[in-house]
Structures are given as structure tokens and as C-alpha cells.
A and B are shown apart, each in its own frame.
Chain A
Amino acid sequence: MDAQAGIEATDSTSKSGRPQVNLRNMAGLKAQLTRVTGSTDLASDLLQDAVVTALQKLRAGEITDPTHLDGYVYRVALNHLRNYRRKDRAHAGYSEGVGDLVDATDSSRPAENLEAEQWARLAKKLLQEVSPARDRELLVRFYLHEECKEELCRAFGLTELHFNRVIYRARDRFRELLRRRGLGKSDFFSTAGILILAGLSLSAYGIISI
């Protein structure tokens, strides 16, 4: 089995009966980790750490269902993101959400940049489709500046129902745009690489097969 196939395998159990890490697409998470840490390498390390942590939990019996291993990896990695953002808020006077974080456009990772640029194009397309202008502003303030729902409802004079409708439609449309571009469940090769390395290093434990 080649490395890529091993990562994409959908069965949670290998032929040998050992649990496998079924890597979900973490491209968005890795991009945000890169943005918040300001380093692609550090983001990769954090993802690797998430995999290792998950595998250790599995080995220790803290993860009862091995099919949830990948979800657990995502959860740990997301926690890393939140921790870094909390630190960033505390030390750097964080005020405007991810938009004001360090520039994560690392030219040494052209493939990752290319994918993130596609998201930017899709986000632009989505905003161009959204009308009225108030809804566009709502999306930007909610997703980018992370203003809270209640404040935005007050500021725009919206009911919670209306607010949810705008958000739901936008998310639904973005998902559709990703799907059309074949980006909905695309694989992030660098992340795959991390898992391969993690898998190799942990294969000695006998809890992962690649």
C-alpha cells in the first residue's frame, strides 16, 4: 500500500486488524494554524502532535472507539489552534480576529498557498453573490472579525432567525462552491506527510499501520 492510499483509506481497521488513522481533510485547520503561529513548520508540528496525542490516547484506552480516532485528531489540533489564539489575544492585543494575525502566506509552500488562494477566490465569489450589502458586512464581521451574534443582531436590527438564515445560506453556498471546485474533501499532501511520519514513528507501538 502506498503512503497516499494508506492515508485515504476509509476503513477504520486495517487488514491486520489494527486501527488506522483515517485522515480527514484538515487543510482549513492547518491554514489557520499557520496563520496563528506565523509558521508553516510549526503548524505541521502541531498537527503531528495532535496525531501523536490521539494515538497515545488510543493506546491508553482513553479512546474507546478507534473509528473516532481521526475526529479526535481534529479535536486536539483545533484545541492547539484555540490555545494559540488565546495566547495571541493576551500578548499581542488581539482585536480583529484572524484577519489581523501574522501573514501566513509562506511562499515556501506553493501547494498550500494555491489551495488557500482558491478559498479566497471562492469567498470573493460568494460575497459577490450575497445581497444586500448589509449581509456581506454581516458575514465579514461574524467570520473574520468574530463579532458575537447578539451584537451583530443588535447592530443590524436583525432577529436571530434572520441572522441564522444569512449564515446558513452563506455556509451552504461556500460548501457548494468547494464541492464544485473539487475542494470539498481534497487531500492536503503536507498533512498526509505528517501523518505518514507520525505513523512510521509510532508503528513500533503496533497501533497504526501504514
Chain B
Amino acid sequence: MISRYLAGQLPAKESDAFERALSEQPDLCNETDHVLRFKEGLARLHERGELDVLLQTPIPRRWLPYATAAITVIVALGTLLWFQVSIRAPVVLALSPNEIPTRGHETTSILGSYMLARTRGGAPGAEVKAPQVPGAIELRVLPSGLSPDVNYRVRVSRLGGSANGTIIGQIDTGSAGPDGYVRIYLDSQQLMPGDYEVLLTPSANNMATAEGDRFVIRVR
């Protein structure tokens, strides 16, 4: 009503009634003056060119900082959880028996040690006994190249069945030890009975200098 009166939008009858009310109602005068102040405030903003900005700029929501904080916390917790899951992910292949996690044991015992070496004639490989107790199975792989300067990579994958070709672990081992063997350790509890391919290859930098060796182990 006040704004319409001020804008001259009220019919004559209502306008007269408003003016009469102005004389009799102190609060209406106050209200009218508040509207006039708001109009003056807007007019000043308009003159300074601030109104266009105010009308176009998306107004930051009051809840936005809280939502941002909540999202940050969720992301942080998610990242932490992901890392913990990653850390706890089963390690099948390791360079040291102590890298294989055991529950309630400070050190990991070596349950068996097997040598893998190319032989003339028969298929290279070994039968591995993997008891379902926590521990490590040592594989000593003899590279056919016998070059001390070559760094190796070992990859273990399933053979046969529906999981044929599934890589269960891959690790850079560095060069062979002083005895000429490359040593890796398998987690006994992660090994299911079946055949596995153990592939010893020079790491990417040494591809041209040495050949790979393929072995098959049968886990029982």
C-alpha cells in the first residue's frame, strides 16, 4: 500500500484513505519513512552502478561454508579409508618375508623354499606346498642370463581355469643376489591350489640386454 501510494498507483479513493490514515497513525508515518529510506538507499546504489552487480552476482549461501567443510571432511575420511584399505590389501608377492602381513606375529616364518631354474629338457617349475598357515614361501629364481648388472621384474599369474592369466602379483626385484638368485616371497595364505606362471624378465631399462625366463609352479 505504502509503495503503491508513493508511486501514485493507488486509486483516488484509496489514496485519500491512506493520507487520512497518515494523519492518524504514527506507525504508518514511520513505515512510510522506512520505505522512503529504502528507496533512497536503492537509488544511491543505482547511481553508483552497484545494483547491476548485486542483481547479477549469485549470492553466496549461508550454508555453503558448512557444506564445503562437510565435503572436505567426507573427502578426507574417504581418502584415509582408501589408504587404509590399500595398506591392508593382501600382499601376495614381496621382496622380504617381513613384508608379508601376519596376524599376531612379529616376524613371518618361511614355510618353504623352492628353487626355480631353467633345466635342459624338462619343463622348468616346482611343486609348492602351501599350508594354510600364515607364512612366506621363498622362491629362488635363477636367471638364465647370469648377468649381475641386470635388474629384474617378477610377475606371478594364474594358469588354467576361469582365472587363467590373472596377475596376482608383480614386483621389481633389482639385480640378482651374490649367489645368482633372485629371491621373492609368496604369502602362503593368498595362494590357492593350482598352477601359477612365474615370469622373470629384465626390467624395462634392461629389455635389450637379457631375456626372460618362464616357470610354472603347482601349488598344493
Contacts and interface: CB of A to CB of B under 8 A. Distances in A.
Contacts of A105: 44, 47
Interface stretch (A129-137, A193-201, A202-210): A129-137
Given A68-B24, A133-B55, A136-B55, A31 B3 contact: no
B26 interface: yes
A72 B9 CA distance: 21
A131 B40 contact: no
A136 B59 CA distance: 10
B29 to A, nearest CB: 4
Interface of B: 3-4, 6-9, 19, 22-26, 28-48, 50-51, 54-56, 58-59, 61
Interface string A124-146: 10111111010011011011101
A98 interface: yes
B41 A185 contact: no
Interface string A53-82: 000000000010100101110110011011
Contacts of A124: 41, 45, 50, 54
Which among A101, A120, A139, A149 has the greatest number of chain B C-beta atoms within 10 A?
Answer: A120
B37 A119 contact: yes
- Main secondary structure on A side of the interface with B: helix
A26 B26 CA distance: 12
Contacts of A139: 42
Contacts, number: 158
Nearest to A183: B37
Interface of B (DSSP majority class): helix
A82 B4 CA distance: 12
Interface of A: 24-29, 31-32, 35, 63, 65, 68, 70-72, 74-75, 78-79, 81-82, 85-86, 97-99, 101, 103, 105, 116-117, 119-124, 126-131, 133, 136-137, 139-140, 142-144, 146, 148-149, 167, 170-171, 174-175, 178, 183-185
